[in-house]
């Protein structure tokens, strides 16, 4: 009696076709939703992202590929060349520092060397870079390994900051320093908290609220922040709702895509309280 042939090889081919289809869909979304925001030429980027391999001239595919995804793909397809975004992250970190430094130097002529360094450190940090990634919609296009989305908020914050740096590195290589500088500073400048004379840093809403609470009531505001998970067929979105209290008194509430953004919005809402703003 003949034994039936195992169907394992057919399943592998099906899995391979499914992977190729998912890859095509992902590249198409990257081309339509992200590349135009960054200033890539549509015809060039369409040809490279949709038709070429990862060795094409554009570095966008590499920028949006997390090391955990690349590791899984290398295990399932050892012969395929899969690049992750760690090298671009390294490059983007230096480009980011350069662009921030020359703009802060130009905009704040009265600041000393130490004040310039403090201003730059306040401007380019994990929180700011993560906010940019969320604001520009980068997060939803990052290819991750299967377990990475469950690593928690701290890991997510670091991952988003690294992604922004990788995008900066990709843009520098693909589009040049002048284009990258204009694009990046447009996003960074709103986070620069200089006073009107360019002589010092303004405080963010949380710091201002803390100063007010210490001055008026000798108390420190406290924040209660909860995660909200919104699931759809295509993706899971994590948002945060925060309430700020002074003792037992609720001062304000806010929502955001990260814990820090939600707390900042709560602090901002507290200043809309008439009795607080008049104090």
pLDDT tens per residue, range 18-42: 777 888 888 888 888 899 999 988 7
Kindly tell me if the per-residue pLDDT of 146 is higher than 80.
yes
The HSE-up count of residue 178 (CA atoms within 13 Å, CB side) is 0
pLDDT for 56 equals 53
Backbone angles phi, psi at 149, to 5 degrees: -65, -15
pLDDT for 186 equals 94
Alpha-carbon distance 270 to 208, whole Å?
11
Alpha-carbon distance 45 to 51, whole Å?
10
The HSE-up count of residue 165 (CA atoms within 13 Å, CB side) is 27
Short-list 213, 198, 227, 229, CA closest to 267: 213
Kindly tell me if the per-residue pLDDT of 2 is higher than 70.
no
Q: What is the mean pLDDT of the chain?
A: 82
14 — pLDDT class (breaks 50, 70, 90):
very low
Query: Are residues 239 and 255 in contact, defined by beta-carbon separation less than 8 angstroms?
Result: yes
- Would the pTM count as exceeding 0.75? no
149 — pLDDT class (breaks 50, 70, 90):
low
pLDDT for 10 equals 46
Kindly tell me if the per-residue pLDDT of 53 is higher than 50.
no
Class of domain 205-277: alpha beta
DSSP-derived 3-state class of residue 224: strand
Backbone angles phi, psi at 228, to 5 degrees: -125, 120
Class of domain 13-191: mainly alpha
Short-list 18, 122, 145, 125, CA closest to 72: 145
Q: How many helices (H) and strands (E) does the chain have?
A: 13, 3
pLDDT for 183 equals 96
Instruction: Tell me which DSSP letter residue 65 carries.
Output: B
Short-list 158, 154, 34, 184, CA closest to 94: 184
Alpha-carbon distance 86 to 88, whole Å?
5
Where are the chain's structural domains?
13-191, 205-277
9 — pLDDT class (breaks 50, 70, 90):
very low
pLDDT for 92 equals 98
Question: If 0-12 CB within 10 Å is exposed, 13-18 middle and 19+ buried, where does residue 11 land?
Answer: exposed
As given in the structure block, the two tokens for residue 33 are 């939703």
pLDDT for 243 equals 93
Give me the percent of the chain exceeding a pLDDT of 70. Answer: 80
Query: Region 250-256: what's the mean pLDDT?
Result: 91
> Which alpha helices (DSSP H) does the chain contain, by range?
8-29, 35-38, 42-51, 60-63, 67-76, 86-107, 113-123, 126-135, 153-175, 177-188, 205-217, 259-271, 274-277
Give the CA-trace dihedral at 141, 145, 147, 152, to 10 degrees.
Answer: -40
pLDDT for 11 equals 44
Query: Region 91-107: what's the mean pLDDT?
Result: 96
Query: Are residues 26 and 141 in contact, defined by beta-carbon separation less than 8 angstroms?
Result: yes
- Lowest mean pLDDT segment, chosen from 134-143, 149-158, 212-221: 149-158
Residues with a known catalytic role: 93, 165
Query: Region 190-209: what's the mean pLDDT?
Result: 68
Say which residue the tokens 């920028």 belong to.
63
179 — pLDDT class (breaks 50, 70, 90):
very high
pLDDT for 100 equals 96
Query: Region 120-135: what's the mean pLDDT?
Result: 90
pLDDT for 232 equals 65
Within 10 angstroms of residue 73's Cβ, the number of other Cβ atoms is 19
């Amino acid at each position: 009696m003949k034994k039936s042939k195992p169907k394992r090889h057919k399943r592998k081919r099906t899995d391979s076709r499914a992977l190729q289809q998912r890859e095509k869909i992902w590249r198409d979304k990257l081309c339509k939703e992200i590349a135009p925001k960054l200033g890539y030429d549509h015809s060039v980027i369409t040809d490279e992202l949709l038709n070429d391999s990862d060795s094409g001239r554009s570095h966008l595919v590499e920028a949006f590929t997390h090391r955990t995804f690349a590791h899984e793909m290398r295990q399932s397809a050892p012969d395929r060349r899969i690049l992750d975004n760690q090298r671009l992250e390294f490059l983007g970190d230096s480009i980011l520092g350069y662009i921030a430094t020359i703009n802060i130097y130009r905009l704040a002529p009265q600041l000393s060397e130490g004040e310039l360094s403090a201003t730059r450190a306040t401007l380019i940090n994990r929180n700011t870079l993560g906010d940019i990634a969320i604001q520009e919609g980068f997060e939803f296009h990052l290819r991750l390994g299967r377990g990475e989305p469950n690593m928690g908020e701290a890991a997510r914050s670091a991952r988003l900051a690294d992604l922004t740096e990788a995008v900066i590195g990709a843009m520098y290589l693909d589009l040049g320093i002048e284009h990258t500088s204009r694009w990046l500073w447009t996003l960074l400048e709103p986070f620069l908290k200089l006073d009107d004379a360019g002589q010092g840093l303004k405080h963010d809403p949380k710091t201002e609220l803390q100063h007010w609470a210490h001055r008026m009531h000798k108390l420190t505001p406290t924040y209660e922040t909860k995660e909200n998970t919104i699931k759809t067929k295509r993706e899971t979105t994590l948002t945060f709702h925060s309430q700020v209290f002074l003792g037992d008194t609720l001062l304000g509430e806010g929502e955001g895509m990260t814990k820090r953004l939600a707390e900042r919005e709560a602090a901002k809402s507290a200043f809309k309280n008439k009795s607080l703003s008049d104090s």
